[in-house]
Structure 1
Amino acid sequence: MSADDEPLAADGENPYLREPPTDFRPVADIEESEADRQIELLREAIREHDRRYYVEGDPAIADRTYDVLFSRLEVLEDHFDRSASDSPTNRVGGKPVDAFETVEHVSPMLSIDASGEVDDVREFDQRVRRELGVGSTTDTAADDTPDIGDVDSAGADDGTATLSDFSDTAAAGRTDVDADLGYVCEPKFDGVSIEFVYEDGRLVRAVTRGDGQEGDDVTKNARTIRTVPQRLRGDYPDFLAVRGEVYMPKDAFQEHNRERIEQGKEPFANPRNATAGTIRQLDPSIVAERPLSVFFFEVLDSSDGIERHTEALERFPDWGFRVTEEVERVESIEDAIDYREDLLDRRDDLSFEIDGVVIKVDDYASREALGTTARHDRWAYAYKFPARAEVTTIQDVAVQVGRTGRATPVALLDPVDVGGVTVSRASLHNPSEIAEKNVNVGDTVRVQRAGDVIPYVAEVVEKKSEGHWELPDTCPVCESQLERDGPMAFCTGGLACDAQRRRSIEYYASDDGLDIEGLGEKSVRQLVAAGLLETVADLYELDREDLVALEGWGETSADNLLAELEDAREPPLPDFLSALGIQLVGPTTARELAREFETFAAVREAAIDSPEALESVDEVGETVARAIHDFFTSEANAAVVEQLLEHVSPQAAAIEAGGDELDGLTFVFTGSLDAWTRGDAQDLVEAHGANATSSVSSNTDYLVAGENAGASKQSDAEENDVPVIDEAGFTELLAQNGIEVA
């Protein structure tokens, strides 16, 4: 049956709810009145299908059918100019905003007093009973008193619940002396709290918690989240303000992080950070693309009288709000403590992150009597979980491609505390080490941090998988072949690979490259995302108007960058060679190549035609020579180099002799220095007779460590008894040897 044969709900039945027709007439052939009715019915049906799918986990129609209905609604709204703020089509995101408006909360969103100590929880119970004038619990509820997890629930697989008849049944089982006091125990979600305000059943405002009194208006972003009802259903209050927790499900978080890693972006540390960073995006379309969800858990204000928290939770699903099934009403604080221990045991099995449980007085009149402090409600208490420490589970493995094409497997972890830092990813180093440690997805592993910086998987604590993880055959970014080189693997795509290309641009502008101020990681990503940069050569074709049009850029920043790029058109040859990002060729090796061959053309000719000639250069052995040869013989790299040479003329930079004051000394530099780039510092000591090398050995006399110095070099220095000096110590050493520094 076609859509045109269906009555437009003249009998009260929406034709798009069950077995909906999908063969629609062209919009140009229907009248406005018919279009308005179809729009109304489609919006109503799609809201219901969203609720069935995202809240109950029980879809009524196939995904393809839903897509047809959604597309039809978009076409109708566009053709007849019928946009509406609460239309389901707003789920895909609206226009970006310049800034968030600060809005006062309907009711204060206070924090919760918290502790991880059981004695503090019992003290909370004693204070509540003392201030309410009720005695200790003598008996717990009858054994057959159901908790929320026992109640039938469509969508139990995704952690949602329906609280039908819960309050009355629970109260009927009570035998203790203080029947008006009971606690509701809930997971303490590790997400972002939002106030959602509904008037006449329509979502009118969503506001972050902020300072508890006022927060940011993120309504446009909230509308894109599928589990946020834009219209309530059933017998809802005329006015309702509820508190919900926006979060990113664990599996969605891991998948999102995998995508970020493979795109060369920095992954989020944990789901909460991912959620917080998403909900405050100025562009709602970005929010719509990210996998956020919501649990609703508290009434902040209502035009209807609600007497108990359990009553509110019972009514939430009827209004369209998603609640968690992990809720239980208990009659004593000892039961609440048992609830916490049980949830702690099941923490890793939940589909969402929690960091404890919240214990709340059920009765609203009792809550009113208990009141609040300036910072928190006195009727609730959070019993925190201990932080996960070092041991965690591998949920997935992503492949990160660096600027040289090296493919590094990265374990995506359940967030874990390692040395006071939350870690959600860890290096697996290379395929050989993975095989040696027999690591795979699902295994429980111990994570450590190398030099307190880089997390890595140290060992498998409990093997829960078959075999070990295998490196794919192709690059996840460009689908070029991955080739093994000893224990490591490399993408063969070269600068044709997006990951290598982005990182090559970042490296080209870095301290080890041409040191172009204003071209940091963030700005490079922005320029690439805007389509202004595809290769390094495009830097020299940037247009002032295009730059000024970008968010966060002004005329001054655009002019400054263009001036920096103009100054970089005649770079010193060592800097240019290093900036190309050739594998194994850093500033020191680049300087030695420039010293030996003097011109870029000579270096490239030797690399292509006689790579063995490169091995006569200090710092260049067979492996490095092969890497240089492979770089220059790659068609993709050669094309980019040719484009670069249309804008850049590398200058032979003879290192001026300054004397032999440092004759016989060997220096290694690590980290960033204020007065010099590392290359300049190396040139300086070599001009006065010293050697500058890239690695620490027993032959090294000094390791000069600037800010953010590498931990491995410092560790090597300690092992070889090499003195480590900072920049001030280096300057003093130069002065002691009669070398004046301007």
Structure 2
Amino acid sequence: MVEAPEDNPYVRDPDTSFAPVEEIEEETAREQVRDLRAAIEYHDYRYYVVNDPVVADRTYDALFDRLAELEEAFDLHDENSPTRRVGGEPLDELETVAHVAPLLSLQSAGDADEIRAFDRRIRETVGEVTYSAEPKFDGFSVEVVYEDSAFERAVTRGDGQEGEDVSANVRTIGSVPLHLDGAPDVLAVRGEVYMPRSGFVDLNERRMERGEEPFANPRNAAAGTVRLLDPSTVADRPLDVFFYDVIETSADLDSQREAFDLLRGLGFRVNDETTDVGDVEAVIDYRDRLMAERDDLEYEIDGVVAKVVDFAKRERLGSTARHPRWAFAYKFPPRTGETAVERIVVQVGRTGKLTPVALLDPVDLQGVTISRATLHNAAQVDDLGVHEGATVRIERAGDVIPEVVEVVADADADRAAGDFAMPDTCPVCDGDVVREGEHHYCTNASCPAQLRRSLQHFCSRDAMDIEGVGAAAADQLVEAGLVESLADLYTLDAADLAALDGWGERSAENLLAELEASKAVDLGTFVYALGIRHVGTERARALAAAFSLDELLDASVEALRDVEDVGPEVAASVASYFDTEANVETVERLLEAGVDPERRDRDDELDGLTVVFTGSVPGYTRSELTELLETHGANVTSSVSGATDYLVVGENPGQRKRERADEEGVETLGLAAFEERILSRL
């Protein structure tokens, strides 16, 4: 147990009415910094390790802020100050560092006969033994080294001989001591970094609401976080750690129990489930108990570990090149396809579609760890009766996509019906949500969850035709914070672009030139580029032919439905798009930036002619043909009807449109006839 620092004014009922920094001397600041660091480290121990804080959160925050203020004002920074837990500067890379001693893996099996065989070999070699029975944490193993009682470095397990230096990241974890009172001169310990289940669910919920891919399980989340290059990001994620081995020390230790006593006494977090047992059958009973209780734990475990307690007997048993002969991991069997729903969240996809997703207590299914499953839409949630806390059966549709099949146990039947409702506003951007059939959509085209796709579409060839903004470039622009809406494209700066990875001055100048050239655009192309749901190139041209941009911004559903090939669903989608304030603001900013969409004057050579194409016409893309004919007064539609004048049959045509033309009595034109009777008139 770590004792409170004696005579420290910031431990019990601290006075946080500090004098202004400019009114104190440097020596006073140094003393205050020393006391604040010691007090904050003690409060961290009480909060993260003992789970019994002695000051309120607001008091802790006041102490922490004062320490940071003094360190900055008097340049009293220290790598192991508690203020470093908020993260430091981003790293260029993770350096490789040798371990002070090999970090070996463990023999493991899930069969009771195999751990009994392990026990027989132990007793044949060293006689009677006592085992330390410990949970086998499903996390990320690290070596933490202390020199002169101060945190020196943290290293991943790597290949067991050397690993990656993750000191800056592990330093941000609140339960990792930065200073030790009364520590041995030499101390290296091994711990397991993990993400608590509740923190994992919260993190995945935030990621999914932002349209990001969630982590598969807490272990992946912990491992991925520890190896990030930005410690500030690590500090914002809910990591914790259990310590379970002393790798090297100058202290005289004779047993695993003494090692645990040393760790606890120095303030390390040791799991309360560790215990000594007398024989292998007690280890098996211990494993069965923890397996029954694993779902109630705040951390993931995938088995238990049995270690010979006596260090002298460990020495006699020795190790192979891969694992010690004195320890064994007795693993749990894989989970079945049934698990509990931790939470139901709404994910926003890149099309703006809102999908309810069940965040699950991770379960192994066909060799894959499943931590989420789609619920498709609100109607399915209601039909299945899924709610938080229910036990559900999971299947992988087509052996790929996990989905909830049924509720198999319902501890709270009253919650099953009507417990979930889709939000009225987007969980990512607060934009309005509209319902179309069984599905819900965010109407804000600049919603961060769909911005990458919107940006790529806006710049595509059939839209604004801005070369250089494909999928990778769109991701870069959004991730760098340079583009937060479509209109931000036209405020890009050459220096900012040139600084992006893989870019340079020439690439930046080329993109700016493309953007400038794109400003002169016809209205139909501009409407298509906006990415309004259900509005392709043909419908965009039809809308541009019927309305000016100002008229389109104010068009009612009824007025929109008067346009050919615009049905109720399309009309509602267009009206909803322009009813969304963020979308209108984007259009206005595009116009202010110099984008000038105008209706092109239509010639009348083909006035009133309605044409449908099937197959390709050599020398033209479909959009080029459509633009050409519509500029001269024709209507180009996608389906054959009684109002169609000609079906143009090109190369590799489809059969359905020709059959429909026969049924409707529509004349068909081959390529030669199309050239002679239509193109020759232009």
Return the TM-score normalized by structure 1: 0.74
Per the alignment, residue 377 of structure 1 pairs with: 324
Amino acid at match of 2:567: G
Asked whether 1:541 is paired with 2:495, we answer no
**For the Cα contact (< 8 Å) 1:195–1:206, is it kept in 2?**
yes
- Please state how far the C-alpha of 1:270 moved relative to its aligned partner: 1.1
Partners of 1:592 and 1:618 within 8 A in 2? no
In the alignment, is residue 98 of structure 1 matched against residue 98 of structure 2?
no
Alignment of 1:621 onto 2:572: no
Q: Residue 277 of structure 2 aligns with which residue?
A: 330
Q: Which runs of 5+ in 2 are unaligned?
A: 618-637, 640-647, 661-682
| Counterpart amino acid of residue 211 in structure 2 | G
SS of residue matched to 1:299? strand
Q: 1:265 to 1:574 in 2, by over 3 A?
A: farther
Change over 3 Å in CA distance of 1:229–1:382 after alignment to 2: same
8 Å contact 2:614–2:654 — kept in the other structure? no
Superposed, 1:395-474 pairs within 5 Å as: 395-465=342-412, 466-467=414-415, 468-474=419-425
Amino acid at match of 2:653: A
CA shift at 1:126, angstroms? 2.5
CA contact (8 A) 1:400 1:409 kept: yes
Whether 1:189 aligns to 2:152 is: no
| Contact 1:52–1:58, Cα closer than 8 Å, also in 2 | yes
Pairs within 5 Å for 1:149-168 = none
Give how far 1:407 is off: 2.6
- State the alpha-carbon separation in 1 of the partners of residues 266 and 361 from structure 2: 33
From 278, 286, 299, the counterpart of 2:246: 299
Structure 1, residues 669-712: CA drift from partner, whole Å, max 9, x if none? xxxxxxxxxxxxx99x985373599xxxx99xxxxxxxxxxxxx
**Aligned mates of 1:520, 1:422 — CA distance in 2:** 33
Q: Distance in 2 between matches of 1:692 and 1:303?
A: 84
Partner in structure 1 of residue 633 of structure 2: none
AA at the equivalent of 1:205: R
Separation in structure 2 between the aligned mates of residue 362 and residue 511 of structure 1, nearest angstrom? 70
Q: Does 1:392 pair with 2:342?
A: no
2:183 aligned to 231, 236, 254, which one?
A: 236
2:486 aligned partner, one-letter code = V
Q: Is the 8 A contact 2:99 2:163 kept in 1?
A: yes
Question: Match of 2:67, SS?
Answer: helix
Query: Which residue is 1:221 aligned to?
Result: 169
5+ residue gaps, structure 1, are 1-8, 135-177, 664-681, 700-742
Q: Distance in 2 between matches of 1:689 and 1:602?
A: 37
TM superposition shift of 1:197: 0.2
Give 2:152's aligned residue: 204
Residue 519 (structure 1) shift = 5.0
Q: Is the 8 A contact 1:592 1:619 kept in 2?
A: no
TM-score, normalised via structure 2 length: 0.81
RMSD, matched Cα: 3.6
- How much has 1:406 moved relative to structure 2? 3.2
Instruction: Please tell me whether the aligned partners of residues 153 and 167 of structure 2 are also in contact (alpha carbons under 8 angstroms).
Output: yes
- The structural deviation recorded for 1:381 is 1.7
On the 8 A contact 1:573/1:600 being kept in 2, the answer is no
Aligned residues: 613
Alignment pair present for 1:262 and 2:209 = yes
Is 1:636 the equivalent of 2:582? yes
C-alpha separation between the residues in 1 aligned to 2:366 and 2:442? Answer: 34
- 1:67 is aligned, of 57, 61, 69, to 61
1:717 maps to none
Q: Quick check: 43-52 or 628-637, which moved more?
A: 628-637
Written as runs of structure 1 = structure 2, the 5 A alignment for 1:443-592 is: 443-465=390-412, 466-467=414-415, 468-480=419-431, 482-491=433-442, 494-495=444-445, 497-501=447-451, 503-505=453-455, 507-508=457-458, 524=474, 526-550=476-500, 558=508, 579-585=529-535, 590-592=536-538
Distance of aligned partners of 1:206 and 1:566 in 2 relative to their CA distance in 1, 3 Å threshold: farther
Which secondary structure does the structure 1 equivalent of 2:302 belong to? strand
For the 8 Å contact 1:607–1:628, the answer to whether it is kept is no
Choose the corresponding residue for 1:45, options 39, 50, 56: 39
Deviation digits for residues 570-590 of structure 1 (CA, Å, limit 9, x no counterpart): 7899886555332234xxxx1
Once the two structures are TM-superposed, the CA of residue 27 in structure 1 deviates from its matched residue by: 1.5
Deviation string, structure 1 residues 587-609 (Cα, Å, up to 9, x no partner): xxx14325756869679967864
Q: Match of 1:583, as an amino acid?
A: R
- How far residue 431 of structure 1 moved from its aligned partner, in angstroms, is 2.0
Question: In structure 1, what residue type is equivalent to 2:429?
Answer: C
Q: Tell me which of 79, 87, 93 is aligned to 2:81.
A: 87
Equivalents in 1 of 2:12, 2:171: separation in Å? 25
Q: 1:607 to 1:75 in 2, by over 3 A?
A: closer
- Are 1:201 and 1:231, in contact at CA under 8 Å, matched by a contact in 2? yes
Alignment of 1:599-614 (within 5 A): 609=555
CA distance in 2, matches of 1:318, 1:250: 27
* Offset of residue 260 of structure 1: 1.2
Deviation larger for 110-119 or 99-108:
110-119
Worse-superposed segment, 40-49 or 429-438: 429-438
Give the corresponding residue for 2:651.
688
Q: Secondary structure in 2 aligned to 1:51?
A: helix
Whether the 8 Å CA contact 1:600–1:650 is kept in 2: the answer is no
Distance in 2 of aligned mates of 1:563 and 1:602 = 27
**CA deviation map 1:100-132 (0-9, x unaligned):** 1111000111112222222222222223233x2
Give the conservation status (yes or no) of the 8 Å contact 1:187–1:357.
yes
- Cα distance change on mapping 1:207 and 1:419 into 2, 3 Å: same
Distance 1:18 1:229, change over 3 A: same
Amino acid at match of 1:420: G
Q: CA deviation at 1:301?
A: 0.5
**Does the aligned pair in 2 maintain the 1:592–1:617 contact within 8 Å?**
no
Q: 3-state DSSP class of the match of 1:90? A: helix
